[in-house]
Amino acid sequence: MLEYKLNESAQVALDQIKYKKYYQTYWEKGKKVIGVGVNFSSETRNIEAWVAEELG
């Protein structure tokens, strides 16, 4: 699962995946799910930070 944010934080993006349980359907089917939160910077126009975690 991927969640992107602009000018926030990668952790906020990952927390949204967990809070809204975007992974639930895949996890219930026995699939391994990795959540990845990515933050883009409008100033540098690039990835500023990212964080990943196994979910479930």
Mean predicted confidence (pLDDT) in 46-55: 97
pLDDT in tens, 6-30: 999 999 999 999 999 999 999 999 9
Predicted TM-score (pTM) of this structure: 0.88
How far is it, in rounded angstroms, from Cα 40 to Cα 23?
22
1, amino acid identity: M
Range of the domain at 46: 2-55
Residue 21: partners with Cβ closer than 8 Å, 6 or more residues away: none
- Looking at the structure of the chain, the number of domains it has is 1
